[in-house]
Chains A and B, each alone.
Chain A
Amino acid sequence: MSEEQVTVAQIPDISLQFEGRVVKDTRAGYSGFIVGAEHLLDVVQTLRDELGFDYLSSVTGVDYLPEGKMEVVYHLYRSIGGPALVFKVQVPRDEAVVPSLYHIFKSADWQEREAWDLMGIRFVGHPDLRRILTWEGFAGHPLRKDWKEPYFEEETKPYKSRWPEGITGYIEDNNPYHDNLQYPAGFDPETWIPQAEEALYASAQKIGRDKELHTDTVVVNLGPQHPSTHGVFRMVAALDGEQVVFLKPVVGYLHRNHEKIGERNTYLQNMPFTDRLDYVSSMSNNFGYALAVEKLMGIKPPERADYIRVMMAELTRWMNHVFSFGFLWNDLGSYFTPMIYALEERELILDIFEAVSGSRMMCNYFRFGGVARDLPEGVLNKVKELVFERMPRQLDAIDKMLSTNEIVRNRCIGCGVLTAEQAINNGASGPNLRASGVPYDIRRADPYSIYDRLDFDVVVHYHGDVYDRYLTRLDEARQSNRILQQVVRDIPEGPIMTGKPAYQVRVPAGEAYGRVEAPKGELGFYIVSTGKPNPWRYHVRAPSFINLTSLEDMCRGGKIADVVLNLGAIDIVLGEVDR
């Protein structure tokens, strides 16, 4: 490690600096600081302006029902690298009010809305505190521990009826509607007036009206069923002529309760669910979750398993980036023919995933302390063939076809510009951040697994437009290739698992945040354990979700036709946005 890394790796003891306002978190298994809610804004402002913690990565609500407390956990970083400064705000459960960090860190925008939606924590000072993943009018805040869903059976799995008794039945039979439904007592459907849509469109119509010329803006709705929104994503834009003056993304159309289900599952049962977060790169999701739980358990995988993990993660990154070029072509109007090039390469990598894990997309391959099974015979040779011959060649072909293509350059250069300040403040991560000139890559900034031993460069480009985002991905795919070449060369023999494989792992009480550089950006898992077989809190810091905060900044002032391009260049996957 170089000298600079040692200095940024030191987290200052802010309980000394802010005496009386900040105390150390002394609970067993916990780290970081507890800030009084009334001092939060001051402390955060100082942390950002004086101590250089300028990157708010994650905002998580935790419901400590037995203590009657609601906690908000913040993970703050320096954009020059280093570990997290973790601090928490505790408020009473029945009066959960916390000052909003929106005006200091815009990355808090969507995360605070999420915490309000799911946990019922009210953030004072947030300009647009609406529900985000559920819909306006939804009854209750589902991630509160005392909120029960319609199919509620028991607090935790495995359910007693299934194991050891083994009685099965239809969960529908326990519900009066024979469906996944519940309504508050005294509710009358005939008198219900839905209000969310009107409010959304009204806020769009207010913008950009010219009183003198009597002009009006045109409000356009894109999605959730739209060929170029990459899934069930929706945007409401107000247009002045062709120019976008206002844009509000609407998400939640694929909200499938990942966290609520995750808090009921045992630790290992969550592994296959993480596959379905960013379903284009499931191996990376496994990686992040495994790291977080391993941190809590205090174990490390053996050498060979680490190499296999990195191999899978980098194959995923390569595949994801090539896939995103296919989509870029699509969004530029060249429909599907170029996509076939990308999918052809993807299939070759999926074959490897299928060979090692048994499934093409939903690999469920990582285990706590290793991987599920060793590489089957012949796979390593296949990977070698790919990484030394085919993959570099195909990247060169893509480079030749796209990088100097006139249409690509005309459409992409100068489109959707995000400055470095904006990118950091919005909490952008991954290629989106690095294309704006911030050389922040978790594999280097806060190394995990064996990345500190591998030789690769952090790719950075400086214009922050769509073209640079494309170039960043292209160069990053080349770096992945470089990593893969080292990994297949050096991979040692040996065991692939620490300890015996177990269905129920023992996880000591405490909290942990594991993060990896997923292809889309920083993927973090925040886990609170009470020592039981199930996590008390399981939160996913999804890169696509937070990267979308920047969408409005990218699109405002541009043409409506470029909105699709900007969205495509952020590279989102809805499974991860909505969770």
Chain B
Amino acid sequence: MSDETIQSSNYEIPPEMQGTVSITSLDKVYAWSRKNSMWPMMFGLACCAIEMIVLAASRFDIARFGMEVMRPSPRQSDFLIVSGTVTKKMVPQIVRLYNQMPEPKYVVSMGACASGGGPFKEGYSVVSGIDKYIPVDVYIPGCPPTPQALLNGLIALTKKVDKERIKTSEWYAKGSEAAVPVPVLGPDLMDPRKYALIYEQTHRPIEPEIPAETEQKEG
């Protein structure tokens, strides 16, 4: 622990105790300890996952930032790197994993696909970005992002963690444990939050003046 980052300068420490004792705020200790020990979930989706593995290896080495402990279990992880294309078949599992992570939890959207669909956006079974379902803290561009870019994103995440304060943190507030509803696979992906909209659209009489793109198509 370096004195400069943690020491609050408002208090005078007697000369005989200097270098032995630091006086600081609880918030600072809290943020400092959290940001230096972020555990990612071991969760790979597609191409980006390879670069994520590379980041953990010797050349880039996320152990320098206290992130080397990758846990396959969501219960033991602090943040989720959505590393790759999110498909409709996979998104229920991702939402479930996210729900199983304990607070405080963060989501890093790695690469173009996870952030917005990427090169596969137009595909019929690709979700246009994971943020349609779960909240994202950091977006990392690239296809795939280089390990350096990923590292930059993760450092951005630690900066965000550093700014959080106990009193204002959401996860100690009431109602923070509400889970994200898990989407259901129907004729297409169905978000339970949008059932009313789906019903309304599928039971709407087809108007002739609608341009061809927006028409409902039957499979």
Contact = CB atoms under 8 A, between A and B. Distances in A.
B95 to A, nearest CB: 12
Contacts of B119: 272-273, 276
A148 B217 contact: yes
Interface stretch (A96-104, A189-197, A290-298, A523-531): A189-197
Given A177-B194, A185-B216, A279-B47, A339 B57 contact: yes
A189 B186 contact: yes
A150 B188 contact: yes
Identify which of B47, B189, B201 gathers the most chain A CB atoms within 10 Å of its CB.
B47
A190 B124 contact: no
A138 interface: yes
B146 interface: yes
Contact of B90 (A175, A253, A272, A346): A253
B47 A185 contact: no
B153 interface: no
Interface residues of A, number: 69
A10 interface: no
A134 interface: yes
A192 to B, nearest CB: 5
B219 A184 contact: yes
Contact of A340 (B57, B72, B188, B197): B57
Given A134-B125, A171-B122, A175-B214, A187 B72 contact: no
Contacts of A187: 186-187, 198, 202
Contacts of A38: none
A372 B44 CA distance: 31
Given A139-B188, A182-B188, A189-B186, A362 B216 contact: no
Interface in A179-212: 179-190, 192, 194, 196
A180 B49 CA distance: 24
Contacts of B122: 149, 151, 153, 171, 257, 261, 264
A172 B51 CA distance: 30
B43 interface: yes
A257 B97 contact: no
A264 B50 CA distance: 28
A39 interface: no
B58 A343 contact: yes
A268 to B, nearest CB: 14
A334 interface: no
Given A147-B219, A172-B128, A253-B89, A232 B45 contact: yes
A155 to B, nearest CB: 12
A52 interface: no
Nearest to A174: B213
Interface in A547-579: 574-575, 578
Nearest to A261: B123
Contacts of A184: 187, 202, 216, 218-219
A195 to B, nearest CB: 10
Given A183-B202, A343-B53, A225 B43 contact: yes
Contact of B54 (A137, A140, A171, A343): A343
A189 B46 CA distance: 30
A163 B172 CA distance: 52
B50 A280 contact: yes
B127 A180 contact: yes
Interface in B1-37: none
B46 A340 contact: no
B219 A139 contact: yes
Contacts of A253: 87, 89-90, 93
A18 interface: no
A347 B54 contact: yes
B190 interface: yes
Interface string B111-149: 001000101111111111000100000000001101000
Nearest to B123: A257
B84 interface: yes
Contacts of A192: 184, 186, 190
Given A177-B201, A231-B44, A139 B187 contact: yes
B59 A231 contact: no
Contacts of B203: 185-186, 188
B199 A188 contact: yes
A361 interface: yes
Interface size class on chain B is 35 or more
A177 to B, nearest CB: 7
B198 A185 contact: no
A176 B201 contact: yes
A464 interface: no
Contacts of B72: 225-227
Nearest to A152: B213
Interface string A426-438: 0000000000000
Contacts of B190: 189, 192
A443 interface: no
Given A347-B54, A362-B143, A225 B93 contact: yes
Given A184-B187, A339-B57, A190 B199 contact: yes
A312 B93 CA distance: 37
A344 B58 contact: yes
B206 interface: yes
A254 B90 contact: yes
Nearest to A362: B143
A177 B197 contact: yes
B56 interface: yes
B46 A575 contact: yes
Contacts of B218: 139-140, 184-185
Identify which of B85, B119, B122, B201 gathers the most chain A CB atoms within 10 Å of its CB.
B122
Contacts of B132: 179
Given A254-B45, A361-B50, A180 B187 contact: no
Contacts of A276: 46-47, 119
A353 B63 CA distance: 26
A30 interface: no
A180 B56 contact: no
Shortest beta-carbon contacts, A-B, top 9: A140-B219, A257-B123, A139-B219, A139-B187, A279-B47, A149-B124, A343-B57, A227-B72, A256-B120
28 contacts: A134-B89, A134-B125, A135-B185, A138-B188, A150-B124, A152-B217, A171-B121, A174-B214, A185-B216, A186-B202, A187-B198, A196-B185, A227-B72, A254-B84, A254-B90, A255-B125, A256-B85, A256-B113, A257-B126, A261-B122, A264-B122, A279-B46, A339-B53, A340-B58, A343-B58, A344-B57, A347-B59, A362-B143
Given A142-B124, A177-B194, 20 more contacts: A138-B185, A138-B187, A139-B219, A171-B121, A180-B121, A183-B201, A185-B216, A187-B202, A252-B89, A253-B90, A253-B93, A254-B45, A254-B87, A256-B113, A257-B124, A260-B123, A261-B120, A276-B46, A280-B50, A362-B47
Interface of B: 42-47, 49-51, 53-54, 56-59, 72, 84-85, 87, 89-90, 93, 97, 113, 117, 119-128, 132, 143-144, 146, 184-190, 194-195, 197-199, 201-203, 206, 211, 213-214, 216-219
